[in-house]
Amino acid sequence: MTLVLASPRGFCAGVDRAIHIVERALEKYGAPVYVRHEIVHNRFVVESLAQKGAVFVEELDEVPDEAAVVFSAHGVPKTVPAEADRRGLTSLDATCPLVTKVHREAELHHAMGRQIIMIGHAGHPEVIGTIGQVPDGTVLLVGTPEEAEKVAPKNASMLAYITQTTLSVDDAAAVTEVLQRRFPEIVGPKREDICYATTNRQAAVKTIAPKCEALMVIGSPNSSNSSRLVEVAARAGCARSVLVQRAAEVDWSLLDGVDRLGITAGASAPEILVEEVVAAARERFDVTIEEIRVTTETVTFKLPQALSE
C-alpha cells in the first residue's frame, strides 16, 4: 500500500499557540489551570493537557475564585472576559489571532452602522464567540446558499459579511456569491476570513484525493476544519473518505484492495496521531510513503505578554 501524505496537515500556528499557552500557564501558576471549553477540538490534546493539570469547564461559574483560566482558541463572547475580570480571575486569552481579526471586523462594521451577516455553522464555539463581540440581534447567521437566498436584512445598503475561519473555501464562496448578487453594496473583508491553514489543508486534500482510492482525515468529530476536509476529499474525487480520531478506530477491513490511501490531519490534530496510523498500516501492509506538498507554512504567533515575561 502506498500512503499518500498531504502536506501541510495537522497543527496550525493558532492551535500550537493555544496549547503552549495552557502549558506555560501551568508552569507559571501551577496546577490546576482552568480552560473554558476544549482548548482545541481534539480529544488527544485535551486529555494530554488534563494529565498535566488542566481542568476543562464549559462556563466560568465552574472556575473557583482567584484561579487562572484560559479562553479557548475558538474565541469567546465579550461577556466572558468581562465576567472573569469582575471575579478577579487571572485570565489568558488563547483565541487564535485570525479569529480575533474577524472579531475586530465585526466591531468595526457595527460601529459604522452596518448590519452583519456571518457565514458559519450555528452552535460552533467560534461563531458564538464572534457574534458575542457585538450587541444581541446585530448579526444574521447563514450557513448555506439557500439560507443566503432567504436572509432578510433591515437595510441592504448598510450591510457587511464576515466568515467563520474554518469553513470549506468552496462552500463559503457559494454563499458569498449569493450575498453579493442579492446585495451588491455588501462590504466584505479586506483579506479573506477563512484562515491560511484551513485553505492550505483543503488545497492539499484536493491535490491528493484524485490520486487515491481511499482517504483518511485524522481529527475529532467536533472539529469543523477536520469535517470539512472529508467533504472536500469526496468532492475532489475520492468518495471513500472518512474521519478517524486515531489508529485504534480504523477499520482496516474496509481498506482491502486499496493500493493508494491518502492521509491528512485537521489543524487541531497532532502529528503523533498521523504517525500512529502510519505505524498501524506498516503492521498490516508493505508500505511506501509518498508525500505531496502544496505549500510550506511559516506562520507563527506570539504568546500573551503575561506568559512571555
Q: Which residues contact 223 (CB under 8 A, 6 or more apart)?
A: 40, 41, 42, 266, 267, 268, 269
Torsional sign, CA 152, 126, 167, 104: positive
Asked if residue 91 belongs to a known ligand binding site, the reply is no
Cell numbers linked to 61: 461559574
**223 has binding-site annotation:** yes
| Annotated binding residue 74 | yes
CB 3 within 8 A of CB 258: no
CA 5, 6, 10, 11 dihedral sign is: positive
Q: How far is CA 178 from CA 141, 144, 148, 194, 208, in A?
A: 14, 10, 6, 17, 30
Q: Is the peptide bond before 8 cis (omega within 30 degrees of 0)?
A: yes
- Four-point Cα dihedral 153, 157, 158, 161, nearest 10: 70
Out of 66, 126, 147, 249, pick the active-site residue: 126
Q: Is 155 annotated as a binding residue?
A: no
Residue in 98, 109, 115 with CA at minimum distance from that of residue 167: 98
Is 225 assigned a ligand-binding role in the annotation?
Answer: yes
DSSP for 154-191, written as a single string: S-TTSEEEEE-TTS-HHHHHHHHHHHHHH-TT-B--SS
Q: Is 96 annotated as a binding residue?
A: yes
Determine contact, residues 235/250, Cβ cutoff 8 Å.
no
* Separation of alpha carbons 302 and 309, rounded Å: 12
215 near 233, Cβ under 8 Å?
Answer: yes
- The answer to whether 212 is annotated as binding is no
Determine if residue 165 is labeled as part of a ligand binding site.
yes
Specify whether 126 is catalytic.
yes
Bridge partners (DSSP) of residue 242 are 216
Q: Is 224 one of the annotated binding-site residues?
A: yes
| Binding residue ranges for [4Fe-4S] cluster | 12, 96, 195
Which residues form the catalytic set? 126
Q: Which residues sit in the known binding site?
A: 12, 41, 74, 96, 124, 165, 195, 223-225, 268
Annotated binding site for isopentenyl diphosphate: 41, 74, 124, 223-225, 268
Give the residue numbers of the binding site for dimethylallyl diphosphate: 41, 74, 124, 223-225, 268
